[in-house]
Amino acid sequence: MFDHDLGPLTSAVLDVRMLLSVANDALDDLYAARLIGSRRLFRDLTKRIAHGDMFCPAALQDLDAVVQPLIALIDVEWREEFHVDEHCPEGGWSMWERTQRGAQLQEMAGPFLALYRAVHAAVHLIEAERAAAKIGSELFS
């Protein structure tokens, strides 16, 4: 999203910061729709998002605790439709489409899922920089 002249890690962290507000709104909607089972989890994540505290292990666990069941719920909301075509050798073709509920869930959760992906991308860059620094210090010591 951001200019790569800033460096990949800085850019990734800024991407996370840009998503915090819309992700918080999505989190509110998910909680109102009873898609987040724990009030404590909702409260903790809301507080972390408000403070921009998204990179600690507890925040990552909280994100996973919301996202994994949400993805599982969204992933089952598909249906297969068979379209009859007398000119097709197989008699028609199948097409998978998201159900109306699946599309609504995806739209509601979209900004929160974007935050989840952005946080994980930044964490992977942090880990890569630490590994590179460790290798560098071992090579030059």
Cα dihedral 64/56/111/20 (nearest 10): 160
Judge whether residue 3 has pLDDT over 60: no
Q: What tens digit of pLDDT does each residue of 83-131 get?
A: 888 888 888 888 899 999 999 999 999 999 999 999 999 999 999 988 9
Output the CA torsion sign for 61, 65, 71, 72.
positive
Work out the pLDDT band at 2, boundaries 50, 70, 90: low
Positions of E strands within the chain: 78-84, 92-98
Are 29 and 23 within 8 A, CB to CB?
no
Q: What tens digit of pLDDT does each residue of 31-75 get?
A: 999 999 899 999 999 999 999 999 999 999 999 999 999 999 999
* Predicted TM-score of the model (pTM): 0.83
Residue found by looking up tokens 């994994």 in the block: 68
Give the pLDDT of residue 108: 96
86 burial (CB, 10 Å; 0-12 / 13-18 / 19+) is exposed
